[in-house]
Amino acid sequence: MKRILTLSTALICAATLPAFADDHMAGENPMVGGAEMFADKTIAENASAAPNLTTLVAAVQAAGLVDTLMSDGPFTVFAPTDDAFGMIKEDSLNALLQPDAKDQLTQILTCHVVAAEAFSTDIVGMIEDDGGMHSVTTVGGCTLEAYIEDGMVKLKDENGRVATVTTADVDQSNGVVHVIDRVILPAGQAG
């Protein structure tokens, strides 16, 4: 898969504008699901330790993307929680985790990844520079629209589904993770 993204197309989010900027500037790494996240561990290692990202971890394993998320990166990952995956019909989710659905699962997961590292302060600047809405192209070929509403960074996918960043700026050795409350889907896929 070609990586042609630049920092200007990277999209990073935060839970609330003042809070996420302050946390990142203070050098504190947020907890995810009550688990401590370590800036010297990879995205795959930290996600495996978060009790609220177990479905994401299982999906990454089923898609064969563990080695990718342990590589040098840099990546920005919008990580849906177990509750976010819970919004998908159970039969549909179980079907996605089967070996014959690997290509579809891979596309869905890579629609949560940007091939650049950007923290919340960067994305807020991009949203402001673009007049309140910033387009982001993901590794999976999805285009997300990032904007701020009620002090929260939101991501709208190509189906009009909106995810909110609930935990921002989780620093990793190979990028940054922003936890979101909804699964992003490629155009035409229902959840």
Q: Which domain holds residue 155?
A: 7-180
The answer to whether residue 145 sits within a structural domain is: yes
User: What's the domain count of the chain?
Assistant: 1
> What is the side-by-side order of every strand in the sheet holding 162-172?
113-114, 75-80, 175-180, 162-172, 152-156, 143-149, 134-137
What pairs with residue 170 in β-bridges?
Answer: 177
Q: What is the pTM assigned to this prediction? A: 0.85
The answer to whether residue 120 sits within a structural domain is: yes
| 129-183 per-position pLDDT tens digit | 999 999 999 999 999 999 999 999 999 999 999 999 999 999 999 999 999 999 9
Q: What is the CATH number of the domain that holds 91?
A: 2.30.180.10
